Amino acid sequence: MRDPQLVSKIDLALREHGVSPSRLLCEITESVAMEDVETTQRTFENLAKVGVFLSIDDFGTGYSSLSYLRKLPAQQLKIDRSFVLDLETSGDARAVVDAVVRLAHALGLRVVAEGVETQGQRDILMAMGCDELQGYLFARPMGAQALMRWIKGTKPDGTPDFTPSVIHPDLL
């Protein structure tokens, strides 16, 4: 984030390889974003100008100011798995996650919940209006060949019935 050439390097790499900037998602953890807010904001603004999709990862685990969150041109907020873990058993966890989802949506951000491992967590997050879910409930880490088979319809045993959003349908 502190490399003054980062944005130009990313822009050049995208152009050299013919990749649309909107296909690149850059994540920055909340704690790193808050280390040097001015630099982060400048870099995020320049990446947004290039057209890169920007996400704030591990939200809620650091000490960010909501005023800085408003200023960063991110498009997505990822809720850390530590909050998702207790959703089924803790009213406090549900309250925090619900508040984060509502706040993010009010700021025009999409919300991704990380670490979804149970149907109960999935159901709670879906009821809260979470936009995307990630976790072992949907798939375990896999190699490239297994991933391509999964994307094309051969799902691992025990995987819920859904279509992965890993690759744009036009690329299959």
Please indicate, yes or no, whether residues 133 and 149 belong to a single structural domain of this protein: no
pTM of the model as a whole: 0.72
Going residue by residue through the chain (172 aa), what tens digit of pLDDT does each one get?
Answer: 778 899 999 999 999 999 999 889 888 877 777 777 788 888 888 998 999 988 887 676 555 556 666 777 788 888 888 889 999 999 999 998 999 899 899 989 999 999 999 999 999 999 999 999 999 888 888 888 887 887 777 766 666 555 555 554 554 4
Domain tally, the chain = 2
Domain that holds residue 165: 141-172
The answer to whether residue 113 sits within a structural domain is: yes
Please indicate, yes or no, whether residues 78 and 91 belong to a single structural domain of this protein: yes
Whichever domain contains 63, its CATH number is 3.20.20.450
Please indicate, yes or no, whether residues 82 and 145 belong to a single structural domain of this protein: no
Please indicate, yes or no, whether residues 42 and 104 belong to a single structural domain of this protein: yes
SS (H, E, C) the chain: CCCCCHHHHHHHHHHHHCCCHHHCEEEEEHHHHHHCHHHHHHHHHHHHHHCCEEEEEEECCCCCCHHHHHHCCCCEEEECHHHHCCCCCCHHHHHHHHHHHHHHHHCCCEEEECCCCCHHHHHHHHHHCCCEECCCCCCCCCCHHHHHHHHCCCCCCCCCCCCCCCCCHHHC
